[in-house]
Structures are given as C-alpha cells and as structure tokens.
C-alpha cells in the first residue's frame, strides 16, 4: 500500500473543481438496482468505494459500464441475485444500502453486516426497524442479515435518530411498496434530496425530501434516468480549510454554498474572507485567526465529516477551541496522530479541548479513517519537514485525486508506493 508525503507548503493559490459527492453517488448506485431500463450517472467521483459498489452491482446481475469523465451506465433489468458477498460488504458500510432495493424489487435480500471506517457503532437497527414496519421478516444469524417480504406495504415510520443511511434504505424500500409510507424524523442532508430527485426521475413519487418528514407513494415499477451527482460538500469544505490553514487564496468551483453554510460561517468567525458567486466560493486565509468552538450535529448543523479538518486548523490557531462530537462516539482517533505532530489537544468524553500552538512538526502518521486522513494532509501542509501518511486507502475511499488537486494549488504533496 502506498503512502502520501506532505511537505510544508506556501500559501495555496488557484482554482480547484469539486468532484461529485461520494455520499450521494453510493446510495444512487444502490437505487439503480430498482430501475428496469438504462440508467446513466454523470459526475460520479473516481473513488475506491465507487469501484467496490460497482463490483457489488455486477455480482447481483446488473450490467455496469464505466466511461471516462465520471460517467457510468447501469442496467438492472436482468438482476436476479439477492445475496452479496462478505468480501465486498466488509470493505465499506454504504454497501448495506443494497438491502432496501433488493428487498422491495426481489422480495428478499441477504448480506453480511457492513464494514467501513471505525468511527463508531453506527448500528443498522434503524434500517431493520424500517423494513419490519413495511412488512418484512428479518433474520440475523452468524454475521449475516436477511430480509424477506413478498409485497411490502406502506406505513408510518419514526426514526429514533435522523440516520442518513436508514432514511435512504427505507426510502428505497418504500418506492415499490403498496400504499403510502411516511418517514418521520428523517435525515435532511442534501444527499437525501439528490437520491429522491433521482428516484423521482425513474418514476417514483417522493415528496418532502430535505425536511424531517418524507412521504413516499408506492408505484408499480421504476424505469431509467440520466442524473448528475451533486458536488461533494465535504470535499469543498476540506479545500476551504486548506486555504484557511495555509493563508491561501483559493477559488472553489462546482460547489453549492447552501450545502456548507456551517463551515462557511465558522471560517468567517475564524477570520477568513469568503465570497460566494453562483457555484463558486473564494476563500482567503489569514495568519490572524481566532479560536472558535464547534459542535457537530445532523444536517443542517455542523457536519461531523468536517470535524477532523477543523481540528487541524484549530491546532495552529492561537487560543483555545472546544470541539464537541455528538454524532459518532469514536471520532477522535485522529487526535493521537495530530499530537504526534505537536498539537496540544486533550479529550474529555465527547469534547476535544484544542490549545493552539505556533507550529507543528512532521512525523510518520496514519489515516485512522477517511476524514482523519484529510486532517493529517492539512496539518502536513503547515508542519515543518516531511509528513508521511500511511493507511491512505481510507483517503482514496472518499477523495478523488486529492494530492493532484492540492499540488496544482501549489502544495508540496506526492504519493509513494
């Protein structure tokens, strides 16, 4: 497995284009199993997780063709398999999203318990609760989950927590169910809206996506569609922090500013200058930054997926910042790696107290999860010496050519095998 090397870099300057959203592409790939005609997806990011998901679709009997420029064509008309192998499912949690489409289209689905980043328990009980409410029988045995139901029936489903994955899985299961389904306390993320828009293009009848109550009226079948994946708001936020931490001046293209309001607000509070212009954001960093407090929350609150990147920024910002993580209970694994680079961070339960230091120093570190890897790259941009990052397969799962994009902005970063 390769490594990424980051050297202390000058202020980053230039323009960068954001790729399609990983967290939108994966559920939409899962939803393609519901269609009976050609589906063409555009602006799909070039990621390891996407490759794995396409392999899952192929093994289930779908025809998958990849073209250049982020274009994928899928036809699931002849899909006939309902069981997915452990080898693929263990690689990423999002693979569990095939359960809803398989259950509602074939009447049965069987898969191993999901893998992914070790950032918390992230139980699947909310997914299964939703399937049960629609009339499915659930069987959990020896690390596998089975769901069975010849004809699902709509119902009113309340999620105890606004889980993104559970909202997506239940929504996909409900589109072919008989009658009407309402999901209360649904997740409101932009990726939920993108999935609903895609399903509606295929012939589904979904309203309320983006609010806490989603209504799905079941239809007989879904057809095909052409759909472009929304921009990745977390990648956009990561490049915004890259400009802030290096005192740079970066124009970020292909972004929806309304999707990243909390990150924009916090960077302005820190002292950055930010201009919004259509699908572009310009971020100018400053050396005179102020410490801020952050609390992660479900959307539209501050995203947990930006917590690690902001911690790197706060590590070299004068003053004391408090970062409270409320979404995942094990999302401070990057703290020990940042401390190896000289950061002054103390953990107290779900809070991290960050005392800014004048500078960081390079060290061999490892990406403990996807966003932790991005945080270490950001820290490496301002650390003295060369920072070598291991376990970069986590980074490749969620960032499309991050070292190339940063290099074009002036960063001293490269990959070694």
Structure tokens at 96: 């569990």
126 is in an annotated binding site: yes
Catalytic (active-site) positions: 117
246, 12 contact by CB (below 8 A): yes
400 is in an annotated binding site: no
Three-state secondary structure call for residue 415: strand
30, 99 contact by CB (below 8 A): no
Neighbours of 275 (CB within 10 A): 11
195 is in an annotated binding site: no
Which residues lie closer than 8 Å to 204 by C-beta, 6 or more apart? Answer: 175, 196, 216, 219, 222
Structure tokens at 139: 């069987």
Structure tokens at 152: 């699902």
289 is in an annotated binding site: no
93 is in an annotated binding site: yes
Is beta strand 156-158 parallel, antiparallel or unpaired with respect to 180-184? Answer: parallel
190 is in an annotated binding site: no
409 is in an annotated binding site: no
23 is in an annotated binding site: yes
Cα separation, 217 vs 225, whole angstroms? 19
Structure tokens at 35: 């269609």
Three-state secondary structure call for residue 206: strand
Residues flagged as binding site for phosphoenolpyruvate:
22-23
Residues flagged as binding site for UDP-N-acetyl-alpha-D-glucosamine:
93, 122-126, 305, 327
Residues flagged as binding site:
22-23, 93, 122-126, 305, 327
């Amino acid at each position: 497995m390769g490594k990424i090397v980051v050297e202390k870099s000058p202020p980053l300057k230039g323009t960068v284009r954001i790729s399609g959203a990983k967290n939108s592409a994966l559920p939409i790939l899962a939803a393609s199993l519901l269609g009976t005609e050609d589906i063409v997806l555009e602006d799909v990011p070039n990621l390891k997780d996407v490759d794995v998901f396409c392999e899952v679709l192929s093994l289930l009997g779908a025809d998958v063709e990849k073209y250049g420029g982020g274009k994928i064509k899928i036809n699931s008309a002849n899909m006939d398999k309902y069981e997915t192998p452990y080898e693929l499912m263990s690689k990423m949690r999002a693979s569990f999203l095939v359960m809803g489409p398989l259950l509602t289209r074939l009447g049965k689905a069987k898969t191993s318990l999901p893998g992914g980043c070790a950032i918390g328990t992230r139980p699947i009980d909310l997914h299964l609760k939703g399937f049960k409410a629609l009339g499915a029988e659930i069987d959990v045995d020896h690390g596998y989950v089975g769901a069975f139901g010849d004809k699902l029936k709509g119902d009113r489903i309340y999620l105890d927590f606004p889980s993104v994955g559970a909202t997506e899985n239940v929504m996909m299961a409900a589109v072919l169910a008989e009658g009407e389904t309402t999901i209360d306390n649904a997740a409101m993320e932009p990726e939920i809206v993108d999935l609903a828009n895609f399903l509606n293009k295929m012939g589904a009848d979904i309203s309320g996506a983006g609010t806490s109550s989603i209504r799905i009226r079941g239809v007989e079948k879904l057809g095909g569609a052409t759909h472009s994946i929304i921009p990745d708001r977390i990648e956009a936020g990561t490049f915004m922090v890259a400009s802030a931490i290096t005192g740079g001046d970066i124009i970020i293209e292909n972004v929806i500013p309304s999707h990243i309001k909390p990150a924009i607000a916090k960077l302005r509070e820190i002292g950055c200058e930010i201009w919004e212009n259509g699908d572009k954001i310009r971020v100018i960093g400053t050396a005179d930054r102020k410490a801020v407090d952050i609390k992660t929350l479900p959307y539209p609150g501050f995203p947990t997926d930006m917590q690690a990147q902001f911690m790197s920024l706060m590590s070299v910002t004068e003053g004391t910042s408090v970062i409270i993580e409320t979404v995942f209970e094990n999302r401070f694994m990057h703290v020990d790696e940042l401390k190896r680079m000289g950061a002054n961070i103390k953990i107290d339960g779900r809070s991290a107290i960050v005392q800014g230091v004048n500078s960081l120093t390079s060290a061999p570190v490892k990406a403990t999860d996807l966003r932790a890897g991005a945080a270490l790259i950001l820290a490496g941009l301002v650390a003295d010496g060369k920072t070598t990052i291991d376990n970069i397969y986590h980074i490749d799962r969620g960032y499309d050519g991050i070292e190339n994009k940063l290099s074009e902005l002036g960063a001293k970063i490269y990959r070694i095998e």
